[in-house]
Each structure stands twice: as C-alpha cells, then as structure tokens.
C-alpha cells in the first residue's frame, strides 16, 4: 500500500519568514495530494490540494509543489503569521480502489510554531 513520509516533525519559524514542509510517497499511481491544517482540539481542515496533472498550485500565502518523478510534494507558507501555528498533515491517495473511494494515507504531521 501507499506510504507517506513527512518532514520535519517540528518547525519553528520567525513571523514573516517562510515555512516549507516536505512529503514523499511510495505509490507512483497516487494522483491526489491534499494538505490539512489541524489546530488544537479541532479536526483537520483542508487548506490546499494538488492533482497530478499540475506541478504547482497557489492560494494567497500558501503554495504546493509536486514532483511526480521524484514522488515528493511540498507545502510552502510565505509571510507566516501567528495564526499559522498548527499541525500540518500531508496526504496522498493510491490508485482509486476497486471500491471507488479515496482512502487517504496521511503523513505523521508537522508541528509548525510561528515565533512572534
């Protein structure tokens, strides 16, 4: 099955600087890569996603890049703010299963702390 590795596990960044979180995946058939932000006591919230037919996607201060050849994808947050502090998870889907579902395989998370 799919295996997703995420680095780093913790990341501290000065407010205003950029943060980068990286993930690698094992299944070359994976074609959907979402990123989730989880704040304390809350469920994960989808913040951005990318599909395998594009290499980069941006949404304001957040961007995701995908390198299918190397099987890795990254989350970039620019001009970080205190409210960006949270745990971030990457995920990938293997080939659509025989059941038609998109069973996400998650990385183990990155705790991002923005230092004021």
Q: Give the interface with another protein as residue ranges (CB under 8 A).
A: 4, 6, 32, 34, 36, 41-46, 49, 89, 91, 93, 97, 99-109
Tokens, residue 95: 């080939």
- Phi and psi torsions of 50, nearest 5°: -145, 145
Write down the least CB distance from residue 87 to another protein, Å: 9
CA dihedral over 111, 114, 115, 116, signed as positive or negative: negative
The position carrying tokens 């994808």 is 73
CB of 71 or CB of 78, closer to another protein: 71
Write down the least CB distance from residue 32 to another protein, Å: 5
CB of 2 or CB of 78, closer to another protein: 2
CB of 29 or CB of 46, closer to another protein: 46
* Cα–Cα distance for residue pair 80/56, rounded to 1 Å: 19
């Amino acid at each position: 099955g799919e295996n997703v590795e995420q680095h780093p596990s913790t990341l501290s960044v000065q407010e205003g600087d950029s943060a980068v979180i990286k993930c690698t995946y094992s299944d070359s058939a994976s074609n959907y890569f979402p990123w989730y932000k989880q704040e304390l006591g809350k469920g994960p919230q989808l913040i951005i996603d990318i599909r395998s037919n594009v290499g980069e996607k941006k949404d304001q201060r957040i961007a995701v890049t995908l390198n299918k050849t190397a099987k890795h994808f990254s989350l970039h947050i620019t001009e970080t703010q205190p409210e960006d502090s949270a745990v971030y998870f990457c995920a990938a889907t293997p080939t659509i299963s025989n059941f038609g579902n998109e069973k996400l395989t998650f990385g183990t998370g990155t705790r991002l702390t923005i230092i004021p």
